[in-house]
């Protein structure tokens, strides 16, 4: 075994122990959250799925547990597979997420090494292995850990495996991986058209460029299989989850546009004064239509608020200062994302110019950053939604670290 492989294995083990230690400290077998928390929500749907009840659970406007598309199927399917084997064991779920987060270090190293030098890859891998926010999310029963794993895997497949020697089979695998990623978090859906543009830009020759159609086909086959299930269930087209307009409404309403506490953030749409009862007894799919009407009407009548909304979302999205009362959480965010941001900012512009001139496949990273930021400007800024992008920011930031290290160690010329 090569020395690099041994060191990387040791790093993965150390990362796993760090993640596991945090879970043990917090209580690895504790309940996932309160009844209204996302973690409890995911677990409830997963348990029903494991019991053969399909993807079912509570849904606004409906009584009891119902077959639903409210929750994307990726994470519940992952948890359900664990529940089938081990029962409703939260400790095993968290153990699996700690392992998955540690294995993600390998993917991150491989991706960073392919686009930067190996020293920068080591900086990125070590930084992410002990990244406080990554450790935090591996303990939470949320989609961040699984989504980030598949996102980095998809990028490695596209940039390292497919782009240098493109084939139909590789393109289909890349597309399928992106499709699975979308079924975990549909937020990646607006990014998929950018993958097509990426392929047309970086691939050489008509035949290679045409393979972007195979990437699209691979992603479509995975996503539309779930859409077909939704159509049979609801007799209407639901791509993944019917939550687009309710989320937009949550980030674009009179409260977030006037209350500094919610600047750039969101408020649950039924808590907006005057809208409290507009959704009474309305199932989620129909809520989308109501939310679309309210959002478009309010935005058209309040154009003077657009700039404030965009500016505040932009600031909150990039800010390393967490907006909550918990002082420890604020310090953790400042120590993690706050440490990456100063190194990332110069690197993102330098690498963008370099990758553009070279038609380097790694420019896909910049497209992801742009897409993630655009989502925040449309919906709202939230550190949780930024987190899956942060490993890629760490990769770019590591280039700045190596550049500064080399300048610092450079010996002065002899007199």
Tell me: the pLDDT tens digits for 159-171? 999 999 999 999 9
> What pLDDT shows up at residue 2?
84
114 and 159 Cβ atoms separated by less than 8 Å: yes
Nearest to 111 by CA among 368, 370, 318, 317: 368
Give the model's confidence band at 326: pLDDT under 50 very low, under 70 low, under 90 confident, else very high: confident
Residue 405: is its pLDDT beyond 50? yes
Give the pLDDT mean for 149-159. 98
Residue-wise pLDDT tens digits, 349-404:
999 999 999 999 999 999 999 999 999 999 999 999 999 999 999 999 999 999 99
Nearest alpha carbon to residue 131 among 101, 87, 172:
101
Average pLDDT in the 36-42 region? 84
Closest CA relative to residue 314, chosen from 252, 378, 249? 378
Per-residue confidence (pLDDT) for residue 56, from 0 to 100: 96
Asked if 132 contacts 335 with a C-beta cutoff of 8 angstroms, the reply is yes
For the segment 143-150, the average pLDDT, to the nearest whole number, is: 98
Helices 90-115 and 132-139 sit at what angle, rounded to 10 degrees? 150
Name the pLDDT band for 34 (thresholds 50, 70, 90): low
User: Which residues, at least 6 apart from 205, have a Cβ–Cβ distance to it below 8 Å?
Assistant: none
Question: Cα dist. 398→244, 339, 394 in Å?
Answer: 35, 11, 6
- Mean pLDDT computed over 135-140: 96
- Residue-wise pLDDT tens digits, 47-56: 999 999 999 9
pLDDT on residue 36: 56
pLDDT at 79 over 50: yes
Question: What's the rounded mean pLDDT across residues 229-241?
Answer: 96
- Does residue 218 surpass a pLDDT of 90? yes
pLDDT: which is higher, 62 or 252: 252
Q: Give Cα separations from 193 to 88, 156, 358 (angstroms).
A: 38, 18, 22
Is the pLDDT reported for residue 230 higher than 50? yes
Q: What pLDDT sits at residue 302?
A: 97
The pLDDT of 114-118, averaged and rounded, is 94
Contacts of 57 (CB under 8 A, 6+ apart): 41, 44, 45, 48, 65, 66, 68, 70, 71
Note the pLDDT of residue 33: 77
Query: For residue 395, what is the enclosing H or E element?
Result: helix 390-409
Dihedral sign, CA of 203, 207, 209, 211? negative
pLDDT of residue 413: 46
Q: Tokens for 116?
A: 């930067």
Q: What is the mean pLDDT of residues 278-293?
A: 93
pLDDT tens by residue, 197-211: 999 999 999 999 999
> What is the spatial distance between Cα 363 and Cα 48, in angstroms, rounded to a whole number?
41
**pLDDT of amino acid 415:** 43
> Mean pLDDT over residues 138-148, rounded?
97
Quick one: pLDDT at residue 1? 63
Is 401 within 8 Å of 343 (Cβ atoms)? yes
The residue ranges of every structural domain in the chain are: 3-30+89-406
The average confidence (pLDDT) of the chain is 95
- Helix, strand and coil content of the chain, in percent to the nearest 5, comes to 75, 0, 25
56: part of which helix (H) or strand (E)? strand 56-57
Residue 118 reports pLDDT greater than 90: yes
Please say if the pLDDT value at position 414 is more than 80: no
């Amino acid at each position: 075994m090569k020395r690099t492989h041994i060191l990387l294995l040791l790093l993965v083990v150390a990362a796993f122990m760090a993640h596991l230690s945090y879970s043990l400290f917090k209580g690895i077998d504790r309940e996932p959250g309160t009844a209204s928390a996302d973690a409890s929500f995911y677990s409830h749907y997963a348990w029903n799925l494991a019991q053969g009840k399909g993807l079912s659970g509570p849904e606004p406007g409906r009584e009891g547990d119902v077959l639903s598309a409210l929750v994307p199927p990726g994470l519940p399917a992952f948890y359900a597979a664990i529940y089938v084997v081990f029962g409703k064991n939260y400790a095993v779920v968290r153990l699996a997420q700690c392992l998955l987060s540690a294995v993600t270090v390998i993917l991150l190293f491989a991706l960073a090494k392919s686009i930067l030098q190996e020293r920068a890859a080591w900086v990125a891998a070590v930084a992410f292995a002990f990244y406080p926010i990554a450790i935090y999310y591996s303990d939470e029963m949320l989609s961040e850990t699984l989504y980030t794993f598949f996102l980095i895997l998809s990028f490695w497949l596209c940039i390292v495996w497919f782009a240098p020697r493109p084939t139909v089979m590789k393109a289909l695998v890349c597309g399928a991986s992106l499709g699975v990623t979308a079924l975990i978090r549909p937020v990646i859906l607006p990014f998929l058209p950018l993958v097509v543009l990426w392929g047309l830009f970086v691939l050489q020759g008509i035949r290679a460029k045409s393979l972007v159609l195979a990437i699209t086909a691979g992603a479509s086959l995975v996503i539309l299989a779930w859409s077909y299930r939704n159509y049979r269930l609801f007799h209407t087209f639901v791509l993944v989850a019917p939550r687009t307009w309710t989320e937009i409404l949550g980030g674009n309403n009179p409260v977030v546009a006037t209350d500094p506490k919610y600047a750039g953030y969101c408020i649950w749409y039924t808590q907006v004064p005057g809208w409290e009862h507009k959704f009474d007894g309305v199932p989620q799919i129909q809520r989308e239509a109501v939310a679309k009407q309210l959002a478009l009407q309010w935005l058209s009548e309040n154009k003077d608020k657009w700039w404030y909304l965009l500016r505040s979302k932009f600031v909150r999205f990039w800010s390393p200062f967490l907006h909550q009362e918990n002082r420890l959480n604020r310090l953790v965010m400042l120590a993690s994302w706050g440490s990456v941001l100063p190194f990332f900012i110069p690197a993102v512009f330098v690498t963008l110019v370099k990758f553009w001139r070279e038609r380097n496949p790694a420019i896909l990273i910049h497209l992801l950053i742009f897409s993630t930021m655009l989502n925040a400007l449309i919906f709202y800024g939230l550190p949780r939604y930024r987190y899956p992008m942060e490993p890629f920011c760490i990769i770019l930031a590591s280039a700045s670290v190596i550049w500064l290290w080399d300048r610092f160690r450079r010996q002065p010329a002899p007199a």
